[in-house]
Chains A and B, each alone.
Chain A
Amino acid sequence: MNSQLYFIAGLTAACYAPFVAHVILTRVFGRYAAEDERQSGCLAGCACGLPAAAAVFFAGRSLFPAGDPFSLAVYLALVYGLAAYTYFHFFNISETSRRIKLLTILSRGDMDGRELAARYDPWGALRRRLARLSGLGELTEREGRFFLARRRLLMCARAVFILRSVLFPPERTGINAFSRHRELFRALLVRGFKAKYKNSFLGIFWSLLNPLLNVLVFAVIFTFILKLPVREYPLYLLCAIFPWSFFNGALTNSAVAIVEDAHFVKNTAFPVALIPLAVIAVNFVNFIVDCSILLLVLAAMGRANIYWVFLPAICLVELALVCGLGLLCAGAFVKFRDVNFILNFFLRLFFYFCPVVYTLGMVPSGLRALYLSNPLAVIIDQFTCILYQGNAPDAGLLLLAAGESAVICGACFWLFNRMKPTIPERL
């Protein structure tokens, strides 16, 4: 049951991949934003979605080993192809039909613009459309004037326009604010990395050292002294420590970020949230690098499994959680300068309420529900479930954690927006 659910979820996700890829291409990288590049943008989005479809194929192969791979491939190709085709025409259809009409007219022989306009017959096209619309009951005609009869079709069209505006910023904002802030975000990100690893020979691998040291200490304490009944305990620690160290590091660093950049915030006008978010992004990249190294090690040990495809989703859930909390701490620290002490205290306490040094299985069953209401505990538990035990993640728990993280993230963004106007003058 669980595996079928996963398959359907994965397939649905893959069908939305062209849209997501297209949004990322236009809004994050600023590509294909011009009017005449939109179709190419659609196609590029569809191409970027292909790996997602391929991932669903491999996932499907291992979820249903008895199935026929060829039929699965054909099935997926059809479904993905149809989704991509629909998506492409979502943008293109009205444009294409007009172009086809022009080409059809021109196929009767070459002509100049006026002849073309005469044959194009705009009034005829208009009449046919009006007839269809009044047939559908969308408009009525009285004494040669047309009236809107109901708004059903109009509402549908508006919904499409709203969806399109996700991809393309409205023209009236001029050069869009997002692309301007993208540059700033990139600059802040680069600065974050340079500041972190300037003059360090090991560069980004420094970030590995701290969690590894923790693993070493815990492994010694809990295997030689406390003798926890966990098989391959150091490995368990390795699988559990990275989500925790990302949470810990990102929150500690982002809390002080705005105050450390006081000069910036006081003397220039830009979205202040970019500063803590850039700090979180630096930590996130570190986290991804650390995880990749861990995955390589696990793969070399022959522990690779198909459920690894769920890891990016879990990482994103944690990212949402950290973004919200980090932003809130950064804003609160501007007002109350003891927030970082409180945060450090809280983090140290919180560490023991997450299944990092012990497994969730060791928690008394009465407390289990309380534990699982903590999204970070679920994230760490699901990490170890996939990496250490090699089991499928629990879809229900993950959805719960994702929902909680989304709510926390949204609430924190809202709170931060309320603090935002007075941040510069409090610094």
Chain B
Amino acid sequence: MTHTACAISLSGVSKRFRLIHEPPLTLQKTVHHLVTGKKSYEDIWALNDISFTVRKGETLGIIGANASGKTTLLRLIAGIYPATQGTVRCEGRIAPSLELGAGFLNEFTAAENLGLYGAVFGLTRKQVAAKLGPIARFAGLEGFMDVPVRQFSMGMRMRLAFALAAEVQPDILLIDEMLAVGDIAFKEKCFRRIAELKSSGMTLVLVSHTMEEIEQVCDRAILLEKGSVAAMGECRAVVARYRERMAR
């Protein structure tokens, strides 16, 4: 394994979604549409022929307007969505921390939630138990671990989620808008941790609307526009391109 080996490689990846009008779809409606011959959906291509590779230990930023396919791309990399066309190849353990904080179960305590999410990330009970202390310390939530998550603020949830994802020590970490809610001090802490993880060889894919974040953390960036790659390469240039397009 050399340093330049690929952690993530996508070739010709496209994703089609079936957009259903007037959801939710029911059996009743389906039968009705079948009988009347009316079409209740249309197909849209959320991603179009995307190809790129991310080296091991590299940090890739993904930017683009709302609904340009950023989160869909992350989900494809994480293996949550199957690609309609093309292939996605990843090496190593992936920790997809997409909207993680929002997914915590309200009625359960922070420790219980960590147990469940730790298991999702492939940790054993013992490993989770051993990491509870460090996670609480990193998130600054010591003394809150036995409190139901329903009493947590959005910022607290997000901190807990990031602390877990960073503590799992995956080979590939996917972050979607996670640092958006944190205060400055926590953000700084996160950046330091990301730098640490990077130096230990972790690959990171970051989706963000904060251009400073992208420029500060990422080695390379991709600009998505309506599901296609509009620009790819050095951060500063891609960000400049994005600003230019937004201004128009």
Residue positions of A touching B, CB distance < 8 A: 180, 183-184, 186-188, 190-191, 194-195, 198, 263-270, 335-339, 342, 421-422, 424-425
Contact = CB atoms under 8 A, between A and B. Distances in A.
B142 to A, nearest CB: 23
Contacts of B81: 424-425
The 9 A-B pairs with the shortest beta carbon distances in the complex, nearest first, are A263-B103, A337-B24, A187-B119, A338-B26, A269-B79, A184-B119, A336-B27, A267-B98, A421-B82
B100 interface: yes
Contact of A194 (B28, B112, B119): B112
Given A194-B112, A265-B80, 4 more contacts: A266-B99, A267-B80, A336-B30, A337-B25
A263 B80 contact: no
A187 B17 contact: no
B1 to A, nearest CB: 14
Q: Is the interface of A mostly helix, strand, loop or mixed?
A: helix
Interface in B124-143: 124-125
Contacts of A263: 99, 102-103
A239 B56 CA distance: 61
A184 B81 CA distance: 20
Nearest to A425: B81
B181 interface: no
Nearest to A342: B27
B61 to A, nearest CB: 20
A425 B79 CA distance: 12
B73 interface: no
B69 interface: no
Contacts, number: 79
Nearest to B20: A426
Contacts of B79: 269
B78 interface: yes
Interface in B1-58: 17, 23-28, 30
A342 B28 CA distance: 10
Interface residues of B, number: 36
Contacts of B25: 335-337
B247 interface: no
A339 B27 CA distance: 7
Contact of A186 (B23, B26, B105, B119): B119
Given A188-B116, A263-B102, A194 B75 contact: no
A267 B123 contact: no
Interface string B208-227: 00000000000000000000
Contacts of A342: 27
Given A191-B112, A194-B112, A198-B107, A268 B27 contact: no
Given A194-B112, A198-B107, A184 B120 contact: yes
A183 B123 CA distance: 8
Contacts of A195: 105, 107-108
13 contacts: A183-B122, A184-B122, A194-B108, A195-B105, A195-B108, A263-B99, A266-B75, A266-B80, A266-B99, A267-B100, A267-B103, A337-B24, A424-B80
Contacts of B64: none
A212 to B, nearest CB: 27
A85 B123 CA distance: 38
A187 B115 contact: yes
B75 to A, nearest CB: 7
B119 A425 contact: no
A264 B115 contact: no
B125 A186 contact: yes
B176 to A, nearest CB: 9
Contacts of A421: 82
B94 interface: yes
Given A186-B125, A338-B28, A342-B27, A264 B108 contact: no
Nearest to B120: A268
Contacts of A336: 25-27, 30
Contacts of A190: 115
Contacts of B96: 267-269
Given A263-B103, A425-B81, A183 B119 contact: yes
Contacts of B103: 263-264, 267
B209 to A, nearest CB: 19
Contact of A269 (B94, B115, B119): B94
B120 A264 contact: yes
Contacts of A264: 103, 120
Contacts of B121: 268
Contacts of B125: 183, 186-187
A338 B27 contact: yes
Given A266-B80, A338-B27, A424 B107 contact: no
Nearest to B72: A425
A425 B122 CA distance: 23
B102 A187 contact: no
B138 to A, nearest CB: 20
B17 to A, nearest CB: 6
Contacts of A180: 122
Contacts of B30: 336
B150 to A, nearest CB: 12
Contacts of A424: 75, 80-81
B73 to A, nearest CB: 13
A186 B103 CA distance: 19
B26 A191 contact: no
A188 B27 CA distance: 29
Nearest to B78: A269
A266 B100 CA distance: 10
